Structure 1
Amino acid sequence: MQPAAEGEKSFAPRPKKRDVHGWVVLDKPVGMTSTHAVSVVKRAYAAKKAGHAGTLDPLASGLLPIALGEATKTVPFVMDGRKAYQFTVAWGSQTDTDDTEGRVVATSDKRPDEAAIAALLPRFTGTILQVPPKFSAIKIAGERAYDLARDGEEVELQARPVEIDALSIVGHTGQTTTFEAECGKGTYVRAIARDLGVTLGCLGHVAHLRRTRVGPFTVAEATTVETLRETADGPDAALRPVEAALTLIPQIMIHRDAALRLKRGQSVLLRGRDAPVEAESVYATSAGILIATGSIENGELIPHRVFNL
């Protein structure tokens, strides 16, 4: 290869994209967008295709599961799973974003004691009605709410039911309170902080947020951006199998002929005394290889997504 002539730019060849299939359970740092995190992981693996299972705000840290290749077909199973967070609420002020990034819109000299907060928590568990933050990704007439809010437009979002399985206090200083929450899809922790502050009469916003679980994945098994870049074993050491996203639904083991039918998009009649008759979601494997996800109706396995692994 001839050296570049004086005045010419020299470019290193781009690494060739490859077919990589699996999950990277990333511990996203504060300050990084979810989109940037996906780009970092995609570049580390030189992967052709990648996507994440649920946006995590730049100001939040913690679990961001990233799917590569065929694993992107299993993203809905992760996004629909339960989530867990640890978050700190700063009392005494409300912001337009319900976190530290926004503009303070109201203040209060009142500070709640721990007993008053604890007494209120049962009202914020179970199925409750929650108004999402104005600065959220919810669409209004085709536009993201946060885009409209940033443009100065009045944003009014309707309350919607969300499920909060558990909400508990893990620390209280008087000025701030740290909570742990377990909740379902569509729940906004920032809205929990806002509504607690309003109900207590002291106002509040999220000062710190960390996601610790998404579906089957926990932060204890997560890897960091630095580990992906520096590990001696290369990034593949952090790659989880595609079916790691499916551990919360039943597995059906099938023989080779049935696998070929499923790969053609054809349904398969399940035989055997213990074969399930009905199931909303299952995944099928053959000789340890993931073949398809689907449902079972009247003893028949109907494929919804087929994998090429």
Structure 2
Amino acid sequence: MARKRKGRDISGWLVVDKPAGITSTSVVNKVRWAMDAKKAGHAGTLDPDATGVLAIALGEATKTVPYITDALKSYRFTVRLGQATNTDDLEGEVIARSDLRPSDDEIKTCLGQFVGDIMQVPPKFSAIKVDGQRAYKLARDGEDVELAARPLWVEELVMIDREDSDHVLLEMICGKGGYVRSIARDLGEKLGCFGHVRELRRVWSGPFEAANGLSLDQINEMAKTPDLDAYLQPLEIGLSELPEVKCAADGATRLRNGNPGLVIAHDVTYGDECWASQDGKAVAVGVFKAGELHPSRVFVPSQDAE
């Protein structure tokens, strides 16, 4: 018999301003402990040395993670020009150098090549799986990892500052699956001077902003107290990218049992994915068809909230 996971049956989102030097998984574990939660996950990994918004989903909110992962995100990052590293960031070994330094205008012009629908090759030191193994593990073992290019939507990529000839501060808004390290690497190659990421910060991700996130020190101070619970945001925030339909008690009961349920919908057409609410609380996510929602994900009310 499987052992029942201990902890509170609590659902919602806690926004963390992740510091450098810790993995995203470690932050999730810290939040799960501090909230005494049964279940927790995050919406989009940040590299250990990256900082910024890391949205932690608790309980039923974990079912909304894909919608945050798919949402646009904003990154601010500094590119070190003149050097390429094997990890495409500061932690790696320098594998190529150049004395060439492009002008501001040359950089701004080149950035346009990385806007819109682009194809991007992930860094060799990444969590992409190759024949069942993580690429970074193969790279650490000295294997020559070849990763396929992947599509990426880049909404915006602009130059913010140039502190000196070696460093340029950029801001990017992009969709799911983007690697900032790849942008730095490819930009350096296009400019003919090489490049890697020196600093990286995720400013916002979907509806969540780093400016509103808690530090790990704050989380430690408030751990397992009502003070920390007060920062928990409702799971419905994770559905903000989807249209909302509403249902009465009968419809909610059918949906929670996994059956199509009657909903009241505005500005929704046949086949749209949307979420149903009852009294403002999420009931299910599904596809709208002829006045009914056909559920694909169902939310179980938190016992702690009842």
Q: Following the alignment from structure 1 to structure 2, what is the Cα–Cα distance between the partners of residues 72 and 127? A: 29
Match of 1:205 in 2: 196
Match of 1:34 in 2: 24
1:277 counterpart (239, 251, 269): 269
2:185 counterpart (164, 183, 194): 194
Kept in 2, the 8 Å contact 1:277–1:300? The answer is: no
Q: Following the alignment from structure 2 to structure 1, what is the Cα–Cα distance between the partners of residues 187 and 105? A: 13
* TM-score, reference length from structure 1: 0.91
1:163-197 deviation digits (Å, cap 9, x = unpaired)? 11100011112110000000011111100000110
Match of 1:65 in 2: 55
Q: Using a 3 Å threshold, how does the CA distance of structure 1 residues 114 and 271 change in structure 2: closer, same or farther?
A: closer
Larger radius of gyration: 1
* TM-score, reference length from structure 2: 0.92
Match of 1:5 in 2: none
Match of 2:170 in 1: 179
Q: Confirm whether residue 97 of structure 1 aligns to residue 87 of structure 2.
A: yes
1:185-233 deviation digits (Å, cap 9, x = unpaired)? 1111100000110111111100000001112212222121122222485
Kept in 2, the 8 Å contact 1:228–1:238? The answer is: no
- The total of aligned residue pairs comes to 293
Kept in 1, the 8 Å contact 2:273–2:288? The answer is: yes
Gaps of 5+ in 2: 1-5, 302-306
Match of 1:288 in 2: 280
Give the CA deviation at 1:51: 0.7
1:127-154 deviation digits (Å, cap 9, x = unpaired)? 1111111011111111111111011111
One-letter identity of the residue aligned with 2:295: P
Match of 1:236 in 2: 229
1:218-258 deviation digits (Å, cap 9, x = unpaired)? 22221211222224852112111111111121111111000
Give the CA deviation at 1:271: 5.5
Kept in 1, the 8 Å contact 2:236–2:281? The answer is: no
Gaps of 5+ in 1: 1-15
1:303 counterpart (277, 288, 295): 295
1:50-101 deviation digits (Å, cap 9, x = unpaired)? 1111110001000111111111111111111111100000111100000011
2:30 is paired with a residue of what secondary structure?
helix
Q: Following the alignment from structure 1 to structure 2, what is the Cα–Cα distance between the partners of residues 293 and 68? A: 17
1:180 is paired with a residue of what secondary structure?
strand
1:20 counterpart (2, 7, 10): 10
Give the CA deviation at 1:300: 2.5
Q: Using a 3 Å threshold, how does the CA distance of structure 1 residues 124 and 267 change in structure 2: closer, same or farther?
A: same
Match of 1:260 in 2: 253
2:203 is paired with a residue of what secondary structure?
strand
Kept in 2, the 8 Å contact 1:229–1:235? The answer is: no
Q: Following the alignment from structure 2 to structure 1, what is the Cα–Cα distance between the partners of residues 107 and 146? A: 28
Give the CA deviation at 1:105: 0.6
One-letter identity of the residue aligned with 2:214: T
Q: Confirm whether residue 80 of structure 1 aligns to residue 70 of structure 2.
A: yes
Q: Following the alignment from structure 1 to structure 2, what is the Cα–Cα distance between the partners of residues 203 and 277? A: 49
Give the CA deviation at 1:279: 4.6
Detail structure 1 runs of 4+ shifted over 6 Å in the superposition.
none
Q: Using a 3 Å threshold, how does the CA distance of structure 1 residues 256 and 130 change in structure 2: closer, same or farther?
A: same
One-letter identity of the residue aligned with 1:57: D
Kept in 2, the 8 Å contact 1:280–1:295? The answer is: yes
One-letter identity of the residue aligned with 1:265: G
1:49 counterpart (28, 36, 39): 39
Identity among equivalent pairs (%) = 49
